[in-house]
Amino acid sequence: MSLSNTTVPPQTSAKPAGISAGLTFIMAAACGLIAANLYYAQPLAGPIGVEIGLPPQATGLIVTLTQIGYGLGLLLLVPLGDLLENRRLILTMIGIVTLALIGAGLSGSPAPFLGFCLLIGIGSVAVQIIVPFAANLAPDVTRGRVVGNVMSGLMLGIMLARPAASFLAGLSSWHLVFFLSAALMVLLGLLLARTLPERRPAARLSYGALLASMGRLVVTEPVLRRRAAYQACQFAAFSLFWTVTPLLLAGPGYELTQRGIALFALAGVAGAIASPIAGRLADRNLSRPATVLGILSVAVAFLITHLADHGSTLALGLLVFAGILLDFGVTTTLVIGQRAIYGLGAELRSRLNGLYMATFFLGGAIGSAVGAWAFAEGGWWLASSLGLALPVVALLYFLTERRPLKG
């Protein structure tokens, strides 16, 4: 049983008028710029900790609190996209992240800085309100393409944030990174206020009823459960790879500098091309083969890293190609999954997106933690073995489908 029949008045069945290429580009750019806020501090945790007096063993809190804020926002704020006017909600979230960025840049002690990190994570969930908003504006026949294009912006923001932060901090200081991003958020807010149309959801629920309905969605929608599970495995593998490979490349055999590791991370940006490709495949009812392709790409990415001797030029080249292939696979299944869950009902998309993202975000957090432990205990061999096991689990679960999923 779906909630679609119980929460939506008949007028929501009207077909969307469509979304222009220009507005799609603006929404994609917005997703990239906002999502980057989640990752700027990762390569700067060391120097930030030294300057604000945070003990070395506690620098991980900079990343952890940002992630916690984002997770809370996914579950508690993103669903409001099914209840409140979307443009105003997005601008409110951008306002929160702007103030938090300014506060972080001005902070000189641990407590306020960490508090602002939490708020940066909360405000950055604006991206997960924008994506279903774009899906609602698109007609059925091009929804996958639109979602894919918007998601390509988000993935570019994720992959470019770390090297951009390292570069800017090298030119000046880590404070500049936060202030510059805050300025970009102000400009972005002004642009979105002028270009985004109003969208007033038809649902008339209390906030408590809205949150309660999310639990029913998990129980009643197998498409959501399956797609979230596939992507949790995929994103866990993604997080494991990008957590461990900087440690691998900085260690014996490769001994790359931070600049070299930043250049390596840039290679993964090429995987963002998967977003529009995956969206088009979904629009052509090729979601199932595309899902298999995405999962196998991640598995093969880990396998090929063992085809050459550790530390050799060929091994480094294979690691670069593995990063591209892995990002391609993860992005493919991400977009296919979003296209699938958005087909469950226009009135449910923000709640579905919040649940979907929160589930695989948890998978990513587990992947990072397990990857760091595995590398410390057994090096790249153990870490990559666990990374390979994750897409294998996703594929085995996918093969248990008895009939094609929608989308």
For residue range 26-61, list pLDDT tens digits in order. 999 999 999 999 988 877 877 888 899 988 767 778
Task: Inform me whether the pLDDT recorded for 387 exceeds 60.
Answer: yes
Nearest to 91 by CA among 144, 150, 133: 133
Per-residue pLDDT, averaged over 63-86, amounts to 90
Nearest Cα neighbor of 363 from 246, 240, 278, 248 is 240
Q: How confident is the prediction for the chain on average, in pLDDT?
A: 87
More confident residue, 119 or 403: 119
* Burial state string for 85-110 with b = 16 or more CB within 10 A and e = fewer than 16: ebbebbbbbbebbbbbbbbbbebeeb
Q: What is d(CA 342, CA 127) in angstroms, rounded to the nearest whole number?
A: 16
User: What is the pLDDT, as a whole number, of residue 6?
Assistant: 41
CATH class of the domain at 217-407: mainly alpha
pLDDT at 17: 56
Q: Report whether pLDDT(172) > 90.
A: no
pLDDT tier for residue 315 given thresholds of 50, 70 and 90: very high
Q: pLDDT digit string (tens) for 202-229?
A: 777 888 998 899 999 999 999 999 999 9
pLDDT at position 258 is: 67
Distance between CA atoms of residues 47 and 41, nearest Å: 10
Could you tell me which residue, 158 or 59, shows the higher pLDDT?
158
Percent of the chain predicted with pLDDT > 70? 93
pLDDT at 311: 87
Decide if pLDDT at 15 tops 90. no
| pLDDT tens-digit map of 291-312 | 999 999 999 999 999 999 988 9
pLDDT at 1: 36
**Which residue, among 342, 339, 127, has the nearest Cα to 217 in the 3D structure?**
342
DSSP codes joined into one string, 147-173: HHHHHHHHHHHHHHHHHHHHHHHHHS-
Q: What is the pLDDT of residue 197?
A: 94
Mean pLDDT lowest among 2-6, 68-72, 77-81, 364-368: 2-6
In the DSSP assignment, the letter for residue 349 is H
Question: What is this structure's pTM?
Answer: 0.80
Superfamily (CATH H level) for 19-201: MFS general substrate transporter like domains (1.20.1250.20)
pLDDT value for 239: 84
Model confidence at 118: pLDDT above 50: yes
DSSP code of 44?
A: G
- Cβ neighbours for 379, distance < 8 A, ≥ 6 positions apart: none
Res 13 pLDDT > 60: no
Q: Any residues with CB less than 8 A from the CB of 73 and at least 6 apart, and which?
A: 93, 121, 122, 123, 124, 125, 128
* pLDDT at site 29: 95
pLDDT attached to residue 32: 94
Q: How confident is the model at residue 88 (pLDDT cuts 50, 70, 90)?
A: very high
Residue 404 confidence (pLDDT): 54
Please write the tens of the pLDDT for every residue from 231-286. 999 999 988 898 788 888 888 888 887 678 778 877 777 776 777 777 778 778 78
- Min mean pLDDT across 8-17, 177-186, 315-324 is at 8-17
Q: What whole-number distance in Å separates Cα of residue 361 and Cα of residue 71?
A: 7
Measured in whole angstroms, how far is the alpha carbon of residue 299 from the centre of its chain? 20
Pick 266 or 90 by higher pLDDT: 90
Q: If you average pLDDT over each of 12-16, 174-178, 274-278, which comes out highest? A: 174-178
Check if 19-201 and 217-407 are the same fold.
Answer: yes
The residue ranking higher by pLDDT, 51 or 406, is 51
Domain boundaries, the chain: 19-201, 217-407
What's residue 16's pLDDT?
Answer: 53
Query: Which range scores top for mean pLDDT: 26-35, 165-174, 199-208, 320-329?
Result: 26-35
Structure confidence at residue 403 (pLDDT): 61
